[in-house]
Structure 1
Amino acid sequence: MVTRSRDIAVLIVVILLIWQGLYQFTGTGLLTAPLDTFARVLRLLGTPNFWPHLNESASAFLRALAIAVGAGLTVGMALGAHRLSGEVAEPILVALYSIPKVTLYPVVLLFFGIGMPAKVVFGAIHGVVPIAIFAMNAVRNLNPIYLKTAQILKLGPWATARKVLLPATLPEIFTGLRVGFSLTLVGTLLGEMFGSQRGLGHLLMAAIGLYRMDTIMAITLLLVIFATTINSILLVVDYRLHRRV
């Protein structure tokens, strides 16, 4: 544990040194210094007008993640439990996963308009497919004895998913959830950047339009800290779940 903490501390120091070196090399036009960026973050957090944008982004992201997880697990488990359906649907899911999601945004705007619904749907679109693929493969690779046991006990589809499939496939599914988390966050922010009047993505686009490099770097730093922290926690949980298998 001490070694891991030391390695993390060394990595952070190295990143900050590289950041400072790049700032010295490129100048203020392309980057801001680490200390200046952290100071700008503190000023943003102390600005009352900033918090509604942060709350908007958090609300949109949590809703999108809930939809992606719920729909992804439902579709993935259903396709995994029915092999023929899964074999037919898998290439379709892979094709959907490979499509640049930005190309779908005009369609999302057409149906949902500019605002919260559009960015929630756009975020969910990014996360639902990888979660479904991981869940489907997890159920496919499940020992058949689990499904036979559920049949013997005469469990219904929902009871089978809740009591048999989910516990047995949790390690692999959790890996999919970790991937889905990152992609849903990206999708939500993209939705705010191109079709919203509120949120961190909107602030980021406004700062880009005004070439406010200090604000761009500060918002980016906040997002990186949030994503890295949550991903690190999820990675630890993922590692422990796989060790239990």
Structure 2
Amino acid sequence: MSLSQRPGAVRPGSFGQSSRDGEPRAQAIKVLVVDRHPIVADGLRACFAQHSDIEFAGALQDAAHIVDEVTARRPDVVLVDLDLGEVDGLEVVKAVLRTRLPIVAVVFSDQRSRVGAALQAGAMGFVLKCATGEEIISAIRQARSGVTSMSPQLSPLTVTPLPRAQIRSVLSGRELDVLRLVAEGHTNAEIGRRLFVAETTVKTHLQRIFAKLHVSDRAAAVATALATGLLVAGPDGFGGQVYSFRPHNVAVMPLRQQAVGGS
């Protein structure tokens, strides 16, 4: 199968039609489902029909032409299973994101050990197939708004740690403070206020964190820190354990309203 890329034109933003009073009216979130099992797509279609802000944009049983499909259908969210037969669902996530279209991907799978890999691939969420309809809808809404979310059932979750050799150097105490606040959902501006530094200083710390963890964005940095034990999620937030590269039972971020992304 081929996941060839054909970049398309960028779709206009979330506000299109106007209401009677002239104010812009938010459009429904269009969701494309990629899953080998038609019964799953049928169940999601019925679930979406109960929410006026969610629109079922179709279903694909394979990913042979995923780039062509998202370019033509222009969904806002692609809900992707990891088990697609010949193609790994994470490759589908990467192919969708490479189009540079304003689309976010959410993984819909029971392969719990691949949460970190999914976030590193660019997914904005990981929802288990045992999740309730409301949890699925919540994850879709949050992903569309830029919030990385996980099914609450993913706590606790065993994540296979990355080899220490993959991390160039351990984070400094201040870098760990910044990463902990990122994991808790704070923006750069909020982090600056909490640490009494300028927002530009926070951005510099993030650039150094990305370089040391060999990642390119906030979500991947948090996933890597969880997998290696640099951050350990608990009921009181994300505690840091510098020099701890042993396996940990970590609680991945539950569904919440604060964004991990954003500046």
Tell me which interval the TM-score lies in, with the shorter structure as reference length: under 0.3
Report the TM-score when normalising by structure 1. 0.22
Report the TM-score when normalising by structure 2. 0.21
- Structure with more of its chain in strand, by fraction: 2
The one of the two structures with greater contact order (alpha-carbon pairs below 8 A, sep at least 6) is 1
